[in-house]
Amino acid sequence: MPTPDHRAMLETAIAEARQGLAEGGIPIGAALYRNDGTLLGRGRNRRVQEGDPSVHGETDAFRKAGRQRRYRDTIMVTTLSPCWYCSGLVRQFGIGTVVMGESVNFHGGHDWLRQHGVNVVDLRDPGCIAMLGDWIAANPEVWNEDIGED
Ligand SMILES: [Zn+2]
């Protein structure tokens, strides 16, 4: 099996983040792929758009993927290090790989995921860092609400 193209998969998550930004939301996107490159689901943070704090990029992509018989050979691709809520989802369902665009603007649960055998890849993408960093600088209150800070 060829090595999954993590960069190409990240582009799907970035497109979702950009769409969220255009909607006035928090620019974080995600996608769930199978190792063979099949796209199962894609989504974005819609806290602002839907007034729903449980719709993170990862949970949205996960739900859009529908029922899957197995997750070990799936890849959760996200523009940002996954928060505890989404890291819990990865462990709960045994998702084998997490590919993240960056972990500069937020350091979530990816170390914990690594410790528990999840293959974690940080692509350190400058575009992801800039997109969310600029948004946080302009919207600090919404950001603190999203990450549960006072
Ligand atoms: Zn999350």
Domain ranges for the chain, please list them: 6-147
Compute, in angstroms, the gap from residue 57 CA to the centroid of ligand 1. 7
Contacts 24+ apart (CB under 8 A), 3-7: 4/33, 4/35, 4/36, 4/37, 4/75, 4/97, 5/37, 6/75, 6/77, 6/99, 6/121, 6/123, 7/123
CATH topology of domain 6-147: Cytidine Deaminase; domain 2 (3.40.140)
pLDDT number for residue 4: 83
Query: The pTM is what?
Result: 0.95
Q: CA angle at residue 15 from 11 to 21, to 5 degrees?
A: 140
CA dist 123 and 130 (Å) reads 14
Residue given tokens 């769409």 in the structure block? 19
Residues belonging to the active site: 58
pLDDT number for residue 2: 58
Compute, in angstroms, the gap from residue 92 CA to the centroid of ligand 1. 14
Q: Dig out the tokens for 7 from the structure.
A: 């960069």
Compute, in angstroms, the gap from residue 85 CA to the centroid of ligand 1. 5
Give the number of other Cβ atoms within 10 Å of residue 57's Cβ. 30
Compute, in angstroms, the gap from residue 81 CA to the centroid of ligand 1. 8
pLDDT number for residue 3: 72
pLDDT tens for the chain, 150 residues long, are 557 899 999 999 999 999 999 999 999 999 999 999 999 999 999 999 999 999 999 999 999 999 999 999 999 999 999 999 999 999 999 999 999 999 999 999 999 999 999 999 999 999 999 999 999 999 999 999 999 988
Residues with CB under 5 A from ligand 1 (ion): 56, 83, 85-86
Compute, in angstroms, the gap from residue 99 CA to the centroid of ligand 1. 14
